[in-house]
Copies of this chain bind each other. A is one copy, B any other.
Amino acid sequence: MKIKAIAFCVLAALGLSYTAQAQTDSVMMRKIFDEALVNGQCYENLRYLCKKIGPRLSGSAGAQKSVEWSKKLMDGYGFDRVYLQEVMVPHWVRGEKEQGYIVTGTKRTSVALAALGMSVATPKAGVTAEVIELHSLKELETLGESKIKGKIVFFNRPFDERFIEAGSAYGTAGDQRNAGPGAASMYGAVAVIVRSLTSALDNYPHTGGTSYGTNKPIPAAAISTIAANQLSNMLKQQGNTPVKFYLKTNCQTLPDVMSYNVIGEIKGSENNKKYITVGGHLDSWDLAEGAHDDGTGVMQSVEVLRIYKALGYKPKNNIRAVFFMNEENGHKGGLKYAEQALKDKEEHIAAIETDEGGFTPRGFSFDRATPAFITGINRQWKKLFELYEADRLVVGGSGTDIGPLRETHPNAMLIGFRPDSQRYFDIHHTPNDVFENVNKRELELGAASIASLIYLIDQHGLKF
């Protein structure tokens, strides 16, 4: 009761008019947060997913196990509808552990290295070649085939630390990993090694997907930031003996396999053709438990529905939690979801993706939002979120899995959950992305923030 009183005082202090509706919304949000913080289940669900199932890359036994367990979890919560949505997914496997070393004359310096997802393997004997260090894809063009051909291209542009949000640093450095191998292949490179996409100076290679486009696939791997600095220093100091690199990767792409998005629904009491989706991705990289990426996201998504049931909240619209499959190396789950929603003529009001880690919530970003929308939503709802320190309502990206709805459902508002971004890339796509690095309250505050936003959208729509 004391906390409710605080809520009202804060509203008063902030000058929000005491309309009956604002009062109702404020009380409901307080109930949502209390339920998440006092009776929350997402943390223990996440523990199970990470510790009992673990890595779950598309096509793996772990992925299949996670699908079955997730459906059971949703069934257990007694949602109105729980089902699997079939989707064919790529099946890339890493194979035996990779090897890599820097070769200077007769000296070999071992380097921790991880093949990039969807990359091709080296020949069995591995690849050895001179290294050329680049800092952008554009340099390939400047240097031309004469300088690149037969070499191993080493992309070594670090994160730009001046960005306040770490996701922006990741975004702007990411082309080296995403498109670098394909581009270097065009100029005759024999392999690519990429500086891990992180601010952290550590000894983990951070894996992640790459796409060759229409270019000839060449072996591609990430090396740790410490190894990247070491290699770069050796290149700076090289005299007449050129610095070479050896890598051996053993990955392969097997035939596509059938997998599933796992979907749970609470039926709308008024609009049974209108949907609000909340989701994250169930698959993870093979090297990690996939705790923050994206175990936290799926567990927050199902927690939203659990909270509504626990509070007896009957939404006006259908609310759906979607555990997308194959975000990491193909996005097939997201594509399938949008395609099926179009086929079924579903009307989607909004979709919210949580795939930036289970850290303290800061707010939400709204894709395709007009300035008027941002002004309106801040005027109406910012104060409600201020009490929970999750009130940054800004224009910005949403997420990979809900992205395809942009084409199929141009009227749906696509929304990204925005937690604190600073620690995400320390552990992203490494064996350090484990349950122990998730804080219970941070995870729960995120789930409650998302449940609150969906409640407000369900009640009032998104016309600003």
Contact surface of A with B, Cβ cutoff 8 Å: 3, 13, 33-34, 37-38, 161-166, 199-200, 360, 362, 371, 387-389, 392, 420, 422-423, 426, 439-442, 445
Additional A-B contact list (15), CB under 8 Å, known A3-B163, A362-B389 = A13-B371, A33-B162, A34-B162, A38-B162, A161-B441, A164-B388, A164-B445, A166-B441, A200-B440, A360-B360, A420-B420, A422-B442, A422-B445, A423-B442, A426-B439
Cβ of A206 to closest chain B Cβ, rounded Å? 16
Q: Is the CB of B389 within 8 A of A389?
A: no
Cβ of A375 to closest chain B Cβ, rounded Å? 9
Cβ of A197 to closest chain B Cβ, rounded Å? 15
Chain B residues in 8 Å Cβ range of A162: 3, 33-34, 37-38
Chain B residues in 8 Å Cβ range of A422: 360, 439, 441-442, 445
Quick one: copies of this chain in the complex?
A: 2
Chain B residues in 8 Å Cβ range of A426: 439
| Residue from A33, A161, A200 with most neighbouring chain B CB atoms (10 Å) | A161
Q: Is the CB of B439 within 8 A of A423?
A: yes
Select which of B38, B199, B442 is within 8 A of A441 by beta carbon: B199
Q: How far apart are the CA atoms of A5 and B288 in the complex, in Å?
A: 38
Q: What 8 A-B pairs are tightest by C-beta distance, nearest first?
A: A37-B161, A422-B442, A422-B441, A3-B162, A360-B420, A34-B162, A38-B161, A360-B422
Q: How far apart are the CA atoms of A250 and B85 in the complex, in Å?
A: 63
Chain B residues in 8 Å Cβ range of A392: 389
Chain B residues in 8 Å Cβ range of A362: 389
Chain B residues in 8 Å Cβ range of A163: 3
| Residue from A164, A387, A420 with most neighbouring chain B CB atoms (10 Å) | A164
Q: How far apart are the CA atoms of A420 and B421 in the complex, in Å?
A: 12
Cβ of A9 to closest chain B Cβ, rounded Å? 12
Cβ of A121 to closest chain B Cβ, rounded Å? 35
21 A-B pairs in the complex with CB atoms less than 8 angstroms apart: A3-B162, A3-B163, A33-B162, A34-B162, A37-B161, A37-B162, A38-B162, A161-B441, A164-B387, A164-B388, A164-B389, A164-B445, A166-B441, A199-B440, A360-B360, A360-B422, A362-B389, A422-B439, A422-B441, A422-B442, A422-B445
